[in-house]
Structures are given as C-alpha cells and as structure tokens.
C-alpha cells in the first residue's frame, strides 16, 4: 500500500464541523398531577401517609429514573355527608328518599375501569318512553297529512260559500279566471317597476 502513495505528500487536516444554524428541537416530558377518582361504595378511608413517611424514599422510588415524575401521594378526600337538622319538613321527606320502590325503578351501571356507578332507569321504563315518543311522532305526522288532505277537499266548497255570501251582500265577485288574470298583471307590473 505504501507503494501506491507517493512519498512526501501531506495529508490535509480534517476541518471542524460547522455550528448548526438552527437549534435542534428539544422534547420535554410533560408532567401533570394524576386524576383522583372519587370513592364509591366503600366506607373505609384510604391509608394516609405522614410527612415523615413521604420524605423517606422507598426501594421502589430509588429504582425510578430521574426523568420520570415522582409518584403521586395525592389522597382523595372522604365523601362529604351533609348535616341534616331534624324538623317537620325534612322528616316528611325521609320516607320518600328511603322508599324501596324508588330504588327498584333504577339500576346502576359501573363505568369500565373505575368504581363509579351511574344510576339508569330500568329497561321497561326506557321502552315505555320510546314507545310513547314514537306514537306521538306518528300521530303528529298523520294529523298533518289528514289536515292537508281536508284543506284540499274543503277549499272549493268554502270558496263557493264565500262567493255566495258576497253576492248576497251585493259585492262584485270575480271569477277564478279573472282573479288569475289580475294576479298576472300585478306580477308583471311588479317586475317592470325599477327597484331603488
């Protein structure tokens, strides 16, 4: 290989890389407080940690890399129960709130992934409401169709009666063709008049 290169030829030095004209993009890991869901159905309070326990790192916390956010120590507050003073108005409401027939009308659905239960009406109640709404819509549409048909049927009879009343009162009644001719003349005159 030395035979291929001629002697005494200097090898040029490698020039340094130029500085980038633009800064390279940086990505920061977002940190946010975790979502705390309310308790449902349990009366036990969650275990609360004291400030001295929070300061002591456990073996699991030591294994977490520095880039990860610290584990949350947020504790959900216990459920709030309002204080009710016993008087005549609230004592009359108590039997209706604890009425088993009121609770029998609803079922509860648990949200997937949580312990939250949502009360829903039973299937019988939903089907009755759907049937009622379908019947009311059908009745409204059929009544509208019947009304339109009756208007087309009774309109000639009503116009004949109106013409006879006008003749009895001594007023001039124009025929259908004369009314149509007058309406055409009015439309034509309206088109010819300049706007503005």
pLDDT in tens, 45-68: 555 555 555 555 555 545 555 555
Q: Are 76 and 38 in contact (CB under 8 A)?
A: yes
Q: Residue 54 corresponds to which tokens in the numbers above? A: 């929070």
Mean pLDDT of 1-7: 63
pLDDT at 97 over 80: no
Q: How far apart are CA 60 and CA 31, in angstroms?
A: 20
Mean pLDDT of 100-106: 61
pLDDT of residue 98: 47
pLDDT tens string 125-170: 889 999 999 999 999 999 999 999 999 999 989 988 988 898 898 8
Phi/psi of residue 106, each to 5°?
A: -125, 155
Among residues of the chain, what percentage have pLDDT more than 90? Answer: 19
Q: Are 116 and 40 in contact (CB under 8 A)?
A: yes
Q: Are 75 and 33 in contact (CB under 8 A)?
A: no
Q: H-helix or E-strand containing 63?
A: helix 59-63
The whole model's pTM is what? 0.33
pLDDT of residue 93: 46
Instruction: Give the confidence band of 172 by pLDDT, cuts at 50, 70, 90.
Output: confident
Q: 2: helix, coil or strand?
A: coil
């Amino acid at each position: 290989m030395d035979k291929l290169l001629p002697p005494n030829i200097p090898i040029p030095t490698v020039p340094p890389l130029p500085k980038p004209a633009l800064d390279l993009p940086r990505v920061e890991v977002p940190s946010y407080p975790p979502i705390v869901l309310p308790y449902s159905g349990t009366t036990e309070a969650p275990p609360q940690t004291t400030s001295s326990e929070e300061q002591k790192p456990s073996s699991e916390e030591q294994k977490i890399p520095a880039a990860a956010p610290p584990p949350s120590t947020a504790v959900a507050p216990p459920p709030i129960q309002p204080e009710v003073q016993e008087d005549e108005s609230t004592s009359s409401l108590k039997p209706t709130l604890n009425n088993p027939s009121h609770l029998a009308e609803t079922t509860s659905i648990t949200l997937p992934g949580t312990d939250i239960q949502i009360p829903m009406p039973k299937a019988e109640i939903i089907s009755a409401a759907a049937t009622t709404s379908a019947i009311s819509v059908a009745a409204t549409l059929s009544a509208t169709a019947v009304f339109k048909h009756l208007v087309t049927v009774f309109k000639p009879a009503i116009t004949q009666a109106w013409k006879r009343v006008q003749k009895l009162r001594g007023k001039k009644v124009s025929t259908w063709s004369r009314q149509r001719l007058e309406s055409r003349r009015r439309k034509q005159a309206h088109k010819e008049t300049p706007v503005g």
